[in-house]
A and B are shown apart, each in its own frame.
Chain A
Amino acid sequence: MSQTIAKTLDLRGMACPIPIAKTAIGIRELQPGELLEAYATDPGSVPDFNAWSKTTGNQLVEQTEEDGVFRFLIRKV
């Protein structure tokens, strides 16, 4: 499986539901198995990305935080 990041989304400063909506749009052009990386500052995006991953089946591979910026690494299902 590929470990290179196919696409990066900058969702910093955006509020609910834009980070999730933009992620859903952004992941469209990826092939299954490819990785998408998203940066967000909305603290609500942490539970939201988890919920989104659970319902869509896209795998939340990694989730980190640095200086108030959350990074989500998602593998397209």
Chain B
Amino acid sequence: MATTEVTIEDIAHELESHQRESAKHNKLVIIAWSGELDKVWPQMIMATTAAAMGMQTTIFFTFWGLFSLVKSDVGLTGENWMQKMVAMMDRPGMEHLGLSKMNFAGAGPKMMKHLAKEHAVASPGELLEMARDLGVHLVPCQMTMDLLGLKREDMIDGLGDPAGAATMLLEAQEAITLFI
């Protein structure tokens, strides 16, 4: 007859892996690298909802994603002509986001914002504010700040300390990770 004895170690092991699984469901890390309206929107929706559901939530803003954190009334960002050129071609700030398709020189986003208002969909800016209120950890990428010449004073308040990939990968351990 085969033995079906369960040892204490088995139970402890089972419990541990179960705990690891449930911890994973309680943490969300979004790597926000896109800076288009139709991608920033889901970044913000997922973050606010996760925080509302009690998940420990972090957004790491990198590359184009970082532009969403720049105050919309800041004019041209950047310290040298190349960085200024980037900001001129793709104006930073939540109010100036384009669409990844059907942009039509800004007519697309205008139409989309109009539709959003009509259907009572909160704007990415409103959602970002709500995310802050819900305790979402907003982390700007230090390297991109240097690359694009973004200064801390160009960006909105309530951000965490700028960090790098290692910090994010540590944070992403045992977290659900989205790359948007």
Contacts and interface: CB of A to CB of B under 8 A. Distances in A.
Contact of B48 (A13, A15, A17, A56): A17
A9 to B, nearest CB: 13
Size class of the contact patch on chain B: 10 to 19
B122 interface: yes
B166 interface: no
> What is the predominant secondary structure among interface residues of chain A facing chain B?
helix
B49 A20 contact: yes
Contacts of B120: 13-15, 18
A1 interface: no
19 contacts: A14-B120, A14-B122, A15-B120, A15-B122, A16-B45, A16-B49, A17-B52, A18-B120, A18-B122, A20-B52, A20-B53, A21-B49, A24-B54, A25-B130, A51-B53, A52-B52, A55-B53, A55-B54, A55-B55
